[in-house]
Amino acid sequence: MRPTRPVGVVGYGVYVPRYRIAAKEIARLWTDGQGGVPVDAKSVPGPDEDTITMSIEAARNALARAGVPAERLSAVWIGSESHPYSVKPSGTVVAEALGAAPWVSAADFEFACKAGTEALTAGMALVGSGMADYALAIGADTAQSRPGDALEYTASAGAGAFIIGPATEALATIDATVSYATDTPDFYRRAERPYPVHGNRFTGEPAYFHQIQSAARRLLDDLGKVASDFTYAIFHQPNAKFPQAVAKRLGFSDAQIAPGLLSPQIGNTYSGAALVGLGATLDVAQPGDTIFVTSYGSGAGSDAYALTVTEGILERRGRAPLTEAYLRRQVFVDYGVYVKWVGKLVMG
């Protein structure tokens, strides 16, 4: 899919909380430290952080890079599966905080881990159709997980924010996209339930791998390209292993995915994962580099994008903290502090 008017990323911003918990610390509680762990550590939101606050900071970074006044945003769309309110948009709080209100479309998207890229595709359409010049798409999550569940090792927190604008102003053009969706219930959370459930190994082949491979291959075919034509690639990263495996199957090398592979350090930021990975990749990319991004959302579906970095990256990259600045300030907490902060402690 391509918009009528060429579009691109005019500003991007990333946010990752300061706190981490080591996967081994979680294993200490539940498996006596025996067995492997899917990541080294995951990010933990502080007690005053949620999808709204992380979205605000990522978006402020994106606005700083874009150099676009907030009131020129025509959309503030936030994809998450951990919106603080079930009913009442995160988008209005974020739009108000940024200074984008009141002449703005504000909405919340939900599609498990690809809610953020849903917003991105919608933003491409809004700008690409000529209806608006700038749209802000955010993927953010403070992911929930049942204590002791396999998800608890990885479900983490982070946000990526992208301002879509005309390709002529972009620091990276978005050249094409595809979306793929099927009814595949590998992971879900019923209304009113605190923690999601998942289908264990069913989350692998028919879910993650099938959806991502379908979307990615289709986009490569549409473009008439192969994996080696791209400088970098980012895949949704629920753990360390899956994105590396799917990259290999599609013909991408370890070096291509290295800058955007953050799950070993920060876990799975859910709706943020592919977008934070893209942000980290833009942090190191040079003009002319090409980037292949494929998200994944349980339920299930996948969005794939092909980007080309422009000269604009050089001047705008330094206007906000790089992803590395957020990764570097890591402070590890123990399981007690972790459960206190993420609401797993019964406070009465």
Tell whether residue 69 is a contact of other proteins (CB under 8 A). Answer: no
Least gap, CB of 307 to other proteins (angstroms): 25
- E runs forming strands in 124-274: 135-142, 157-166, 172-184, 187-188, 197-198, 232-235
CB 52 within 8 Å of CB 90: yes
In the complex with other proteins, the residue whose CB is nearer, 71 or 254, is 71
Four-residue CA torsion sign, 199, 90, 347, 155? positive
In the complex with other proteins, the residue whose CB is nearer, 84 or 288, is 84
Quote the CA–CA distance of 263 and 270 in Å, as a whole number.
10
Four-residue CA torsion sign, 35, 37, 40, 46? negative
In the complex with other proteins, the residue whose CB is nearer, 252 or 326, is 326
Q: Which residues in 129-148 contact other proteins (CB under 8 A)?
A: none
Secondary structure class of 318 (helix, strand, coil): helix
Asked about 113 being catalytic, the answer comes back as yes
Secondary structure class of 279 (helix, strand, coil): helix
Tell whether residue 342 is a contact of other proteins (CB under 8 A). Answer: no
Binder of other proteins out of 2, 24, 248, 329 (CB under 8 A):
329
Beta bridge partners of 309: 172
Which part of the chain contacts other proteins (CB under 8 A), choosing from 91-99, 185-193, 205-213, 214-222? 91-99
Binder of other proteins out of 22, 23, 75, 97 (CB under 8 A):
97
Residue type, 266: I
Tell whether residue 57 is a contact of other proteins (CB under 8 A). Answer: yes
Tell whether residue 84 is a contact of other proteins (CB under 8 A). Answer: yes
Give start and end residues of each alpha helix (H) in the chain.
23-30, 51-66, 90-98, 115-128, 210-223, 241-250, 254-257, 263-266, 273-282, 312-316, 323-328, 335-341
Which part of the chain contacts other proteins (CB under 8 A), choosing from 49-57, 154-162, 169-177, 280-288? 49-57
Tell whether residue 50 is a contact of other proteins (CB under 8 A). Answer: yes
Binder of other proteins out of 301, 326, 333, 338 (CB under 8 A):
326
In the complex with other proteins, the residue whose CB is nearer, 306 or 342, is 342
- Residue closest to 163 by CA, chosen among 119, 130, 109: 119
Four-residue CA torsion sign, 135, 122, 137, 96? positive
Q: Which of 49, 113, 152, 169 is catalytic?
A: 113
Binder of other proteins out of 40, 96, 149, 222 (CB under 8 A):
96
In the complex with other proteins, the residue whose CB is nearer, 52 or 247, is 52
Q: What is the DSSP string of 31-94?
A: STT-S--SSSEEEE--TT--HHHHHHHHHHHHHHHHT--GGG-SEEEEE-S--S-SSS-HHHHH
Asked about 152 being catalytic, the answer comes back as no
Q: Which residues in 157-216 contact other proteins (CB under 8 A)?
A: none
Asked about 110 being catalytic, the answer comes back as no
Question: What residues are annotated to the active site?
Answer: 81, 113, 236
Binding stretches for other proteins (CB under 8 A): 18, 46-50, 52-53, 56-57, 84-85, 93, 96-97, 99, 320-321, 325-326, 329, 331, 340, 347
